[in-house]
Amino acid sequence: MENGKLGWRRSSFCGGGGNNCVEVAATADQGVLIRESEEPDRIIAADGATFGALISAVKAGRVPLAARGRTGRPSAVRGGR
């Protein structure tokens, strides 16, 4: 399926529709695609079980988050290219 035709959903932490948002989309084969709205062509693919484990780890505080910005919400973690 073409990137633009997927049903991308934004994180509830996105706020007012800005471009610093985590987005996810389900694939036909039970997979999940993850991207940052600022760089929509850079996509991470995972199977459903792996994505579920990531979400569980984040909720349990086992994944380090970036320093919190002015809103108190985590800032995007930026890696090198």
Domain borders along the chain are 8-59
**Average of per-residue pLDDT across 35-39:** 87
Report pTM. 0.65
Would you say 2 and 11 are in contact if contact means Cβ atoms under 8 Å apart?
no
What pLDDT, on a 0 to 100 scale, did the predictor assign at position 17?
A: 60
DSSP summary character for residue 53: H
Tokens 């987005």 map to which residue? 23
Confidence band of 58 (pLDDT split at 50, 70, 90): confident
Measure the CA–CA gap between 71 and 43, rounded to whole angstroms: 26
Beta bridge mates, 23: 10, 35
